Amino acid sequence: MLDVKRLRLLRELHIRGTLADVALALQYSPSAVSQQLALLEKEAGVKLLRKVGRRVQLTPQAEILVAHTAEILETLERAEADMSASLTTVAGTVKLAVFQSAALALLPEMLTAMAQDYPEVRIEMVQREPETALYETWARDFDLVVAEQYPGHAAPRHPELDRVVLTTDAIRLAVPAPGVAGGMANLRTEPITDVADTAALPWVMEPRGAASRHWAEQACRQAGFEPDVRFETADLQAQIRLIESGNAVGLMPDLMWKGRPPALTLIDLPGLPRRTVFTSARRASRRRPAILACREILARTALQIPESPVGA
């Protein structure tokens, strides 16, 4: 009989690529991972790993086991979800991954409501970029993820994950408020009315690879220019400070203004584009009561967000 825990280690190696990464993800030592996989080879009676330089590579027989292991883990996860659903108390730990603007806008009220309505559910939250968080939820690092999708820019799809829309928010051009003298004071004296007016101005954007960065660059190119991206940061609050102080312009989603009136000018974009915020969980575990409770409270919290920011 093949050991399920060792099969999971083999699948983790398939996903993560190295013994060291498997050990780090599962809080084992690399030698312990190696020993367990050696025992799995003995149980299977076939070679599962081969050395390629300093790394190990899965054999075709190991790939077969990995495919079956995914099915086994899904079955076990569904069994656990069904068992939890049969209980009268909603309890357990939910590991939640969320990106920054959703964390700022949704998490404080959501955590308060969860503590009141479902006191036996423990929420463990980590901030992650959506693309990474979706992959890590598929890999079973997280139970639930709050992710985003920009118009015309599809977020990664993983077959084992579902997708439930939580809310949408407008994306607007953010520029310094009138009269703010900053680093851009000598670059443009006329009012900014659209993206094209920012062609000669410094921009702040997220680092390359982020969906928001790609979308912002495309918006500038459609307006007829290549943006002068002088400032890169994944911290949207830092982006806001650069814009408020008159040192940059940028594109901002409305969720950033939840509980914080903007001290800058927001300009609607052509077509009034909106970002979609959604949750994803593995289909095998989505019926777990604690996950259902988190989604319920997140949806309730999202409904309370104003349609447009004060001062827009």
The answer as to whether 185 is a domain residue is yes
In the prediction, which pLDDT does 184 show?
A: 85
In the prediction, which pLDDT does 185 show?
A: 76
One domain for residues 106 and 244: yes
Domain count, the chain: 2
One domain for residues 39 and 170: no
The answer as to whether 312 is a domain residue is no
Q: What is the mean pLDDT of each successive set of 10 residues along the chain, which is 312 residues long?
A: 88 88 86 89 90 86 90 88 84 94 93 96 94 91 94 81 95 92 79 93 93 94 96 95 95 90 93 95 93 96 77 50
CA neighbor of 277 nearest in space, from 212, 208, 204: 212
Give the predicted TM-score (pTM) of the model. 0.81
**Residue 71 corresponds to which amino acid?**
E
Residue that is last in its domain, among 35, 51, 84: 84
In the prediction, which pLDDT does 215 show?
A: 94
One domain for residues 34 and 140: no
One domain for residues 39 and 168: no
For residue 72, the domain's CATH number is: 1.10.10.10
One domain for residues 155 and 239: yes
The domain containing residue 21 runs over which residues?
Answer: 4-84
Rounded distance between C-alpha atoms, residue 25 and residue 36, angstroms = 15
- Cα-atom radius of gyration of the chain, to the nearest Å? 23
In the prediction, which pLDDT does 182 show?
A: 82
Residue that is last in its domain, among 84, 101, 136: 84
The answer as to whether 96 is a domain residue is yes
One domain for residues 114 and 80: no
For residue 113, the domain's CATH number is: 3.40.190.290
Residue that is last in its domain, among 69, 84, 99: 84
The answer as to whether 162 is a domain residue is yes
One domain for residues 100 and 145: yes
The answer as to whether 109 is a domain residue is yes
Specify burial of residue 245 (Cβ count, 10 A radius: 0-12, 13-18, 19+). middle
The answer as to whether 311 is a domain residue is no
The answer as to whether 200 is a domain residue is yes
Q: What is the DSSP string of 138-162?
A: HTTS-SEEEEEEBTTBPPP--TTB-
Torsion of CA 303, 304, 307, 311, to 10 degrees: -160
Rounded distance between C-alpha atoms, residue 269 and residue 279, angstroms = 26
The answer as to whether 9 is a domain residue is yes
One domain for residues 51 and 116: no
Say if residues 250 and 204 touch (Cβ distance below 8 Å): yes
One domain for residues 291 and 170: yes
In the prediction, which pLDDT does 24 show?
A: 86
CA neighbor of 281 nearest in space, from 262, 267, 294, 268: 294
CA neighbor of 58 nearest in space, from 44, 72, 79, 71: 44
One domain for residues 20 and 114: no
Contacts 24+ apart (CB under 8 A), 27-31: none
In the prediction, which pLDDT does 310 show?
A: 53
One domain for residues 241 and 101: yes
One domain for residues 240 and 256: yes
In the prediction, which pLDDT does 309 show?
A: 62
Residue tagged 């994306």 (tokens): 171
